[in-house]
Structure 1
Amino acid sequence: MSDKFKKIDKEFCITDDSVNVYGYRCLTAGLMLDEVKKNPIGYYLHGTDEFPREAGVLVRWDDFRKDGDKVFAKPCVNLSHPRGQRTADEVESGFLNAASVGKIKVIEASNAKNLMLPKQDKATVTKWFPREISLVDIPGNYSALANLYDKDDKDLNLSDLKNYTIENMSNTLLAASIYAALNLKDGDESDVVNAIKDLVDKADKADGFEKDLNDLKAESVTKQVEDLIAKGTTDKKLTNELAASLKKNFAENPDGLKDLIDKMPAQVSITDEINKDEELKKYTGKSWDDLYASEELQGIMTKFPDLYDKLRAEKYPNLKSN
């Protein structure tokens, strides 16, 4: 650690769920700690006339830890600050024991009664983060005011909060949420309108694309089923009646249909068998040479492979089968 900085092994409670002296509370569950860790700095008493913020950052916070509703952190004091060494001495000697969150950015808040605790008469801040965390002598007093800020970074002081209705609070928070969701800076409402129109256009295009994609997928599935039925019929595995039934039952399941048809044997009619037997009789008693001379060997090889193999073995007894 550089001599210009001093990390002190002492934990400070920087926030909890309790009601503060101003009548509101900030829930630990809603603390956006990742935002805090991006720039975990602090001052002395949130900045004083003697040591204003322009004097520089006094403290950086490390080793954040949650324990129930309490959040703890350890200070690393900037000894180059005009009050740095004095602050480090006061912390180590136990004279400076408190920390206070400052410039609180309110993201969401609620006036719900079930969130209210005794002595609480202001809104419950349910999503928030502080811009800085200062070392203070007396937490919660007016010299260490933990200010609230709205979407425009304007103070929400005590008088504001007294007159802040749930409608006003909701509208302010809704506007801030909209700017954040659209990735816009607080400003011209026309930017919000244009951004929303752009989102609507993109949503319409996405819906149209999804519909086209679904239609294309349905057409592909239908063609797969039709092709499988046609092949099954050609292969004499399906009767017309069975083909119609399978086409309906497997209309959206071509994989299941293919698996079923692959396992089915070809259907052979009795008439086909009789005709085949009658044709086979024409070749009874004929030799290989006879059939070769009549140019019938090719047809026999295709229709009656067993007979073909038998005649070839007789003609060429020493010829090995492939």
Structure 2
Amino acid sequence: MAKKTFILHDDTVNTQGFRMLTSGADLSVFISNPVMLLNHNDWDLPIGRWENIRKEGNRILADADFDEKDERVAAIMGKVERGYLKAASIGAWPPLETSSDPALMLPGQELPTVTKWLAREGSICPIGSNHNALAMYDKENKRIDLSDKKQLIKLFDTGNGSNPYKNEVQMTILTGLLKLSDNANEQAIADEVRKIIQMRDNLQTENGTLKTENGALTAKLQAFEKKEKDAAKAAAIGLVDAAIKDGRLDAKGKDAWLAMFDSNYEQAKTQLEAIPARGSVAAQVQTYAGDKGAIKLADMAFADIVKADRLKELKKEPELYKQKFFEAYGKYPA
């Protein structure tokens, strides 16, 4: 597979409401260990490595070198090759420097701009937090949940004790995300966060209940469908056996007719009912022997025609032959 170039990062605003300047990215650690992960799963083995990691304008680009000898990677490579996986994501440590300068703010940006940061890894992913994705890790190399409001507040605290934009970040979180007043205390913030967590837990519980109920309903439906199918099969066997008994069908065609019933019960039943009942073969042969031609081929079952040694005569009428063969065996002659 030819190497493909991915956009790992750009300067656009991500879904958390902040952006990271490409010009402030330190790629040295990443270049020294250019690991490629899947969805930032660093507890799993890498799926490849990145080559030619570089900055071009406001973007960070890299060429994907997949580990083709890894059986797990084959499916991922296939989806990339066929265009089903197109996104890549940069993994980074918390910001080294940030700025609340309005000149750096873009439309839709709610939080400060990260002006200096350190890249950690790059991942293939379906969807990222900005159009080219983002993940962050703390100093213990644990993934930071960027959807966690408290984590997001801490993210912009560089720890130097002089964070000029900390209040602005808090205001954005309080009024914009948590819908609290700008003078809300820590208890109010904690209570609101607990509500959000409780809502999440309730939704997860409700989802689990719905899955259980859906499984039970599916099992009932499958049992009902099996019961109906078994009943239809038994009815089909009864109809075919009756048709064989009264001479409308040949026993050799039983399996073919049962297959027709299994495919379309009502249609097979209609076709079978359209075949007229036949008299006994003894009576037909006797009548035929006493009066040549008294019994028309159209009035005889295929098996009776064979027993009366009139098959050659039947084949002289191709359409009637096909009809009689079908009535007997549920299929047309080859």
Larger radius of gyration: 1
What band does the TM-score fall into relative to the shorter chain? 0.3 to 0.5
Structure 1-normalised TM-score? Answer: 0.44
Structure 2-normalised TM-score? Answer: 0.42
